[in-house]
Amino acid sequence: MHLKKREQFRSRLGVILAIASSAVGLGNVWRFPYIAGSNGGALFIVLYILCLLFIGLPILMTELSIGRGAHKSLGHAMDDLQPAGSKWHYFKYFIVLGAILICGYYPVIIGWVIYYFVGLFDGFLLDPSKTSKEVFSDFVTNKPADALLCTYVAVFFCAACSWLGIKKGIERTTKPMMILLLLFLVLLCGYAISLPNAEKGLEKFFVPELTDLSLSKIGSILHAALGQVFFTLGCGVGIIMAYASYMGKKKTIVSESLIVCGIDTFVAILAGVMIFAACYSQGIGVDAGVSLVFQSMVEIFKHMPMGQFFGVSFFFLLFIAAITSIISVFESVVSFGIDCFNISRKKSVLYVSIINVVITVPAVYSFSTFSNVSFFGQDIITFEDFVSSNIFMVLGSLLFAVFCYSRYGWGINNYMAEINEGHGVKLPNFFRNYLRYVIPIFILIVFVTGIMS
Ligand code: PHE
């Protein structure tokens, strides 16, 4: 049944950039800067890096090891690795639901990014008679058809990449896009810090505020940092596992994971520098939350020198970051279909595209036709985001951790052998107990505090 030789990425750079492109997304360019801004700047950054290394990295490695170890995606990986007679594989249906839920709202936000890219390019979003807030609410409430069209452009883009396969589609798209993203980011960052008053923003971003630092404040910064680690790595929903299933074994998983985390953090910090410098140069706060990108930043583009050029470039960068993330989610559902139901790639792409076309509709109309619909006081998009990041990603990560570390699952010996296979950095054996006892407890803490918040 599963004798077909599995496709692999062409090069090591291809694998690393594909996984990094999944991690680097809206979370880095939009979420990281404002969370860092509202959680004490530099102190947040230090705690975030510690959380990423000691908690994020092991979690990332569980999914990589399962995918590479089985050479299968979520659709069949646990079936192959679990001890005979156990029932771990039933969890895959729960996990794939998390990925499908992300497909329901993330392309909608990418649709907004596409609309803003076009609107800034054309100039119609820069109308001086309206504030950016009015423009944004007019768009989401009165122009759902435009939003739907832009969302479908994003879905079509993912479908085309997946249709062409790993080497010709995913690798060929994500590799140059990631390189372009890094280039654009460095250029825009350079421009932003050359603006007058930019140094005030840099000071806010990099100099820690250590006055009235209490234990509860450190606790809440830690919570924000852990939440960001989960969001940016996108673990627990089988995405990383799908890419890992096409990976070769020349380098250790530890090495590859360290590089991915390094690229992800580099992008987040540069994006923070860019946004803080641009906001402070125009005297606008960075704590606007969700509206930061679509309202505050657009207001800034209206007034800064070369604002239209900066704005178009900024939304282009955001588009690359976001589309490469959703390509990975789309591919994970496609490869689930291939491995689980033994259907061809093209058939699976077709089914997943149809599912996407349907499930994005509620989120597109969440501020217009469905503006009365709310779940626990949240609109549809916010609720889908909450459930996928606080429930599916966290519980999925816990499940993979227990599967890899406990003797009732794949087991710590197999896991250690898999992550250390190949050349490069290896994880010493004394980390075993840390992985088995500390990591699951941390994930549980993130789950409970996430739900309570
Ligand atoms: N990692 C993505 C980001 O930083 C978020 C994401 C998570 C996207 C899971 C897809 C799936 O934006």
Average pLDDT of the residues of the chain = 90
Cα–Cα distance measured from residue 327 to residue 161, given in angstroms and rounded to the nearest whole number: 7
**Of residues 338, 336, 422, 426, the one with CA closest to residue 12:** 422
**Is the CB–ligand 1 distance for residue 397 below 6 Å?**
no
pLDDT tens for each residue of 13-50:
998 999 999 999 999 988 898 888 778 778 899 999 99
pLDDT of residue 290: 63
CA-atom Rg of the chain in angstroms: 21
Q: Ligand 1, residues 325, 384, 387, 397: which to mutate, most atoms within 8 A of Cβ?
A: 325
Q: Is the pTM of this model over 0.85?
A: yes
pLDDT tens for each residue of 361-412:
999 999 998 988 888 888 899 899 889 988 999 999 999 999 999 999 999 9
**Cβ atoms of 76 and 98 closer than 8 Å:** no
pLDDT mean over 418-430: 95
**Cβ atoms of 90 and 377 closer than 8 Å:** no
pLDDT of residue 289: 64
Cα–Cα distance measured from residue 114 to residue 121, given in angstroms and rounded to the nearest whole number: 11
Ligand 1 atom, smallest distance to 321 CA: 12
Q: How far is the centre of ligand 1, averaged over its atoms, from the C-alpha of 23 (Å)?
A: 6
Cα–Cα distance measured from residue 286 to residue 44, given in angstroms and rounded to the nearest whole number: 15
pLDDT tens for each residue of 110-164:
999 999 999 999 998 888 888 888 888 899 999 999 999 999 999 999 999 999 9
Q: Ligand 1, residues 19, 21, 22: which to mutate, most atoms within 8 A of Cβ?
A: 22
Q: How far is the centre of ligand 1, averaged over its atoms, from the C-alpha of 399 (Å)?
A: 19
Residue 258 above 90 pLDDT?
yes
Q: How far is the centre of ligand 1, averaged over its atoms, from the C-alpha of 57 (Å)?
A: 16
Residue 432 above 80 pLDDT?
yes
Longest dimension (CA), the chain: 68
**Is the CB–ligand 1 distance for residue 246 below 6 Å?**
no
